[in-house]
Chain A
Amino acid sequence: MNIVPRRGTRIALALLPFVLIVLVYMAGSAERRAANASDKLLPPISEMASAMHRAAFEPDRRTGEIILWEDTGASLRRLALGLGIATVIGLCLGMAVGLLPIFGATFGALIAVLSMIPPMALLPILFIVFGLGDLSKVVLIVFGVAPFLTRDLALAVGALPREQIVKAQSLGASTWQVAIRVVLPQVMPRLIEAVRLSLGPAFLFLIAAEAIASDVGLGYRIFLVRRYLAMDTILPYVAWITLIAYVLDFLLATLARRGFRWAYAEERR
Chain B
Amino acid sequence: MSAIDIRGVWVEYGEQIVLERINLSIPSGAFVSVVGPSGAGKSTFLRLLLGQERPTRGRILIDGNPLPPEPGPDRGVVFQRYSVFPHLTVLRNVLLAFEFEKSRLLARLIGAARREAVKRSEKLIDEVGLSAHLEKYPSALSGGMQQRLAIAQALARRPKVLLLDEPFGALDPGTRAQMHALITQLWRDVGMTVVLVTHDIGEAFALGTRLITLNHTRDDPQAQGRYGATVTYDFDLTRHGTIPIRKAPKDLAPKDLHKTNGTGATQ
Contact = CB atoms under 8 A, between A and B. Distances in A.
Contacts of A38: none
Nearest to B105: A176
A167 B77 contact: yes
Contact of B82 (A164, A260, A265): A164
Contacts of A266: 139
A186 B86 contact: yes
Interface string A239-269: 0000000000000000000001111011000
Nearest to A166: B71
Nearest to A265: B139
A214 interface: no
B239 interface: no
Contact of B79 (A163, A168, A261): A163
B156 A171 contact: yes
B2 to A, nearest CB: 15
Contacts of A163: 79, 81-83
A170 interface: yes
Nearest to B71: A169
Interface in B117-170: 137, 139-140, 150, 153-154, 156-157, 159
Interface string B82-115: 1111111000000011011100111110000000
Nearest to A260: B87
Contacts of A262: 86-88, 137, 139
B220 interface: no
A181 interface: yes
A213 B137 CA distance: 52
Interface string B222-239: 000000000000000000
Given A260-B87, A262-B87, A262-B139, A170 B73 contact: yes
Nearest to A179: B107
A174 B104 contact: yes
A185 interface: yes
Contact of B107 (A164, A169, A181, A263): A181
Interface residues of A, number: 25
Interface in A107-121: none
A171 B157 contact: yes
B197 to A, nearest CB: 14
Interface of A: 161, 163-164, 166-174, 176-177, 180-182, 185-186, 260-263, 265-266
Interface of B: 50, 52, 70-73, 75-77, 79, 81-88, 96-97, 99-101, 104-108, 137, 139-140, 150, 153-154, 156-157, 159
28 contacts: A161-B82, A163-B83, A164-B82, A164-B83, A164-B85, A166-B50, A166-B79, A167-B77, A167-B153, A168-B96, A168-B100, A170-B157, A170-B159, A171-B73, A171-B153, A172-B73, A172-B97, A172-B100, A172-B101, A172-B157, A173-B107, A174-B100, A185-B87, A260-B87, A262-B88, A263-B87, A265-B139, A265-B140
Given A164-B85, A170-B75, A172-B101, 9 more contacts: A163-B79, A167-B77, A168-B96, A168-B100, A171-B73, A180-B107, A181-B99, A181-B107, A182-B85
